[in-house]
Structure 1
Amino acid sequence: MGISRGWRRLLFFLPLILIPLLLSVSELHQNSNLKDLGKNHHKKFDHLFLGPATGQGLPNRLQCQGLKALNKTHFTTSSLTFNFTDNISFVTVFAIYNISLFAHADDKSSAMVTVGNTSYTKAGRSMAILNVFINFVQVSMPRSNIIILSDPASELPIHRNNVSVLPIEGDYSRGRLMLQRIKSYIAFLETRYKEHSKTNNHSNHYIFTDSDVAVVDDLGYIFHHYPNFHLAVTFRNNKDQPLNSGFIAVRGTPDGILKAKRFLQEVLEVYSSKYMKASRMLGDQLALAWVVKSHPSFDAKRFTRPEAFLHEIHGALVLFLPCAVYNWTPPEGAGQFHGMPLDVKVVHFKGSRKRLMLESWNNFNSSSSDFSDMLCLVLKSGRTKYDF
């Protein structure tokens, strides 16, 4: 009987003994998961991670249901009364150096990346980005030309209609590429200024962009809606870096080309004297902001309002265009809570967003969707780091 009562007591107290033990094991397992999550937090994914679209319910923002747009972006069309004797050329700086586009998979330097059904080496994916940039321009503005400024030593296998490669001597190494970009722009404008007399008085406007942008609307609108500027840059509400150098438009008149060249020479001088420590990245944007903000009559508070405005800087009439429309960047992490404006014209896939640029084009090209639907893919992605 004593033994029986002892077992009963043990069975009664056994749950009270086991519960803390089970809780400890549970906590240990939970802590282990948190550690694993921490390890993978900064891991770059090899696929897009889609989340809720930002800007839901906000007026004048793209609204999506899945990857379908519920409202359409406010695209202009060629039916607008543009002066079609004015041509537009896109100009970008790009260099690649004697690197096999088909490196062996066991070569660690090749860093193979797969997007859809295609695998790319480091050089191959750079070329893929350049070709997608060309694709977007040729869909949005089929009458425009594309000029690629590159090192004469760089081998670019580009054979596309209305696309040309213009070699310009310089230092295109990675650490000096942003500095060289401004130098190449200045050299290009110098040649165009000298050759302008041969264009039969027809203006050829220029839009200088990074090669990781998607043009999703006809940008000829800028030159007709704002007839007085010499060059245009894009701005955002950012105290330290209010200007982004990934988009610069230049009016193709002799005065516009000359004033734009002189303006960029000012930027280059400031870059070379003040920001060489940031020559690999951001130096050009810091120099651009310094040239603008140091002008005595300029009010930097205008950067806080997303409205285009015109201001004279060192003799050049500079048009300031909001990044939200002319240089919109997909969110990453917390991202932009206000969504995508319906009148967005340029999407900039800067930084680690290159995969998204390729997948966006694949989505547009492989389905019957229009730009509005494709932009839903862009808007719903970007909640994590990508792989390039």
Structure 2
Amino acid sequence: MMKCTGWRCLLFLLPVIFLLPHIFSVLELHHSSAIKDPLKKRAQKLDHLVFGPAAGVALQNRMQCQGTKALNKTRHSSLFHASHPGGSIAFVSVFTVYNASINRRLKRPDSDSVTVGNVSYTKSERSMAILDVFARFIQLTMPRSHLFILTDPASDLHIDRKWITVYPIQGQYSREELMLQRIRSYIAFLDSRLKELSKKKEIGQIDHYIFTDTDIAVVDDLSQIFYEYPDFHLALTFRNNKEQPLNSGFVAVRGTLDGIQRAKVFLMEVLKAYSTRYMKASRMLGDQLALAWVVKSHLSFDLRRFAKPVAFVEKINGTSILFLPCANYNWTPPEGAGQFHGMPLDVKVIHFKGSRKRLMLEAWNYFNSSSNMDDMLCLILASGRAKYDF
């Protein structure tokens, strides 16, 4: 074995001696980053609203705001008025409570407590608070409507309001399968409506249905959809997004026998596509991908129609589908760099996806204190540029 002696050793060690301070510097920098990263990630989620300039300044047909003060008025033609004649509207949503009753029985703390305004919420309590605000917006803008909450029979869910029906449906309500179960629950509900209608000898007033997520605020009467567009069976909302052009958070169904039957068949096709093609995205986005696949698989469908926010009707496998722009019927508050063009003056549904749910509660609290819908919309438009704590 060759021994390292004298000048040879010195030559061998020189690069090591030279590089050693740099190695320590890199290690120290890496260690610093490792410490800062969690703090940085934590700082991304805030426990209060963050206001910025309201998007859409000087753009025609957009909300114009100065802080939380509206400089123009929205075109909410029927706010606070009775629903239009020709049929009542029932909202339908899937909601379940996870382990809330078990935690109470075992006196186990419910983690991730947050405070909105003067109220502190546990994880299960804030879900119930969002459901409550969802219902209150509907009651405010469409006071004659009804709400069905489709839920797990094992869920500890009790709501004592005459216009709300808790409707248990058997299924898999785990977080991993909730989006898949949502479609199954919608199909089961439509099937129950078909059986009820088939038993009636005479069909009187028609009940139309709007299926939505619970993290939405209905800020205008939606019954106009059914008389302005009299020929559709099913309505979906679209956006100019190549991979996910359709959002499943809003689906309207005409309450006729034909409308309910065709909507059921269409959703069964979506469920099949979901189960066979998109199970890897079962927890999130799978339903939207499946919706898009069913629509795109129709050979004559022109995807370029999604580029402009204009409503249109298209027949797909015998089902007449009304496509409504998300900009009006499923508008999402800005988060990060989104929604450069502001809020349309005739927005009807606001979808508080993801961490925007705090903003939904804050918006309702603000409306409660001001009773001004336009100012509340400015609050929503000017905030939402940060990831909140839930």
Using the size of structure 1 for normalisation, the TM-score is: 0.87
Superposed displacement of residue 100, structure 1:
4.7
Superposed displacement of residue 381, structure 1:
0.5
Is 1:333 the equivalent of 2:307? no
Is 1:274 the equivalent of 2:277? yes
2:66 match? 65
Residues 13-41 of structure 1, C-alpha deviations (whole Å, 9 max, x = no match): xxxxxxxxxxxxxxxxxxx9xx9699436
Tell me which of 279, 283, 286 is aligned to 1:283: 286
2:246 match? 243
Quick one: structure 1 residues 172 and 81, their matched pair in 2 at CA, closer, same or farther if it must change by over 3 Å? closer
Residues 187-211 of structure 1, C-alpha deviations (whole Å, 9 max, x = no match): 0000101111437421100000000
Superposed displacement of residue 348, structure 1:
0.1
Quick one: structure 1 residues 98 and 323, their matched pair in 2 at CA, closer, same or farther if it must change by over 3 Å? same
1:196-235 mapped onto 2 (5 Å cutoff): 196-197=197-198, 198=200, 200-235=203-238
Local SS of the residue matching 1:138: helix
Superposed displacement of residue 334, structure 1:
1.0
Residues 182-241 of structure 1, C-alpha deviations (whole Å, 9 max, x = no match): 000000000101111437421100000000000000000100100000000000000000
Is 1:366 the equivalent of 2:369? yes
1:101, 1:124 within 8 Å by CA — same for their partners in 2? no
Q: How many pairs align?
A: 354
Quick one: structure 1 residues 349 and 137, their matched pair in 2 at CA, closer, same or farther if it must change by over 3 Å? same
2:146 match? 145
1:82, 1:224 within 8 Å by CA — same for their partners in 2? no
Name the CA distance, whole Å, in 2 between partners of 1:167 and 1:182: 14
Superposed displacement of residue 367, structure 1:
1.9
Superposed displacement of residue 243, structure 1:
0.2
What is the identity, as a one-letter code, of the residue corresponding to 1:323? C
2:299 match? 296
Structure 1: runs of 5 or more not aligned: 1-31
1:150-189 mapped onto 2 (5 Å cutoff): 150-189=151-190
Superposed displacement of residue 110, structure 1:
1.9
Superposed displacement of residue 157, structure 1:
2.8
2:111, 2:122 within 8 Å by CA — same for their partners in 1? yes
1:13 match? none
Quick one: structure 1 residues 222 and 80, their matched pair in 2 at CA, closer, same or farther if it must change by over 3 Å? farther
Using the size of structure 2 for normalisation, the TM-score is: 0.86
Name the CA distance, whole Å, in 1 between partners of 2:46 and 2:261: 46
Residues 145-204 of structure 1, C-alpha deviations (whole Å, 9 max, x = no match): 000000000011311230010000000000000000000000000010111143742110
- Identical counterparts, % of pairs: 65
1:51-200 mapped onto 2 (5 Å cutoff): 51-77=52-78, 84-100=85-101, 109-197=110-198, 198=200, 200=203
Name the CA distance, whole Å, in 1 between partners of 2:102 and 2:49: 24
Name the CA distance, whole Å, in 1 between partners of 2:58 and 2:92: 37
Local SS of the residue matching 2:177: helix
1:208, 1:249 within 8 Å by CA — same for their partners in 2? yes
Superposed displacement of residue 109, structure 1:
4.5
Superposed displacement of residue 85, structure 1:
4.3
Pairwise CA RMSD of aligned residues?
2.2
What is the identity, as a one-letter code, of the residue corresponding to 1:174? R
Local SS of the residue matching 1:125: helix
The runs of at least 4 aligned residues of structure 1 exceeding 3 Å deviation read 35-39, 78-83, 100-104, 106-109, 197-200
1:102, 1:124 within 8 Å by CA — same for their partners in 2? no
Is 1:383 the equivalent of 2:367? no
Residues 45-81 of structure 1, C-alpha deviations (whole Å, 9 max, x = no match): 0001011100011010000112111111111217999
Name the CA distance, whole Å, in 2 between partners of 1:69 and 1:82: 26
Residues 106-157 of structure 1, C-alpha deviations (whole Å, 9 max, x = no match): 9665211100010111000000000000000000000000000000000113
1:140, 1:217 within 8 Å by CA — same for their partners in 2? yes
Quick one: structure 1 residues 220 and 48, their matched pair in 2 at CA, closer, same or farther if it must change by over 3 Å? same
Superposed displacement of residue 103, structure 1:
6.3
Name the CA distance, whole Å, in 2 between partners of 1:212 and 1:54: 22
Name the CA distance, whole Å, in 2 between partners of 1:72 and 1:160: 33
Local SS of the residue matching 1:174: coil
Name the CA distance, whole Å, in 2 between partners of 1:354 and 1:68: 22
Residues 271-309 of structure 1, C-alpha deviations (whole Å, 9 max, x = no match): 000001100000000000000011011011111111001
Local SS of the residue matching 1:353: helix
1:91, 1:148 within 8 Å by CA — same for their partners in 2? yes
Name the CA distance, whole Å, in 2 between partners of 1:148 and 1:59: 38
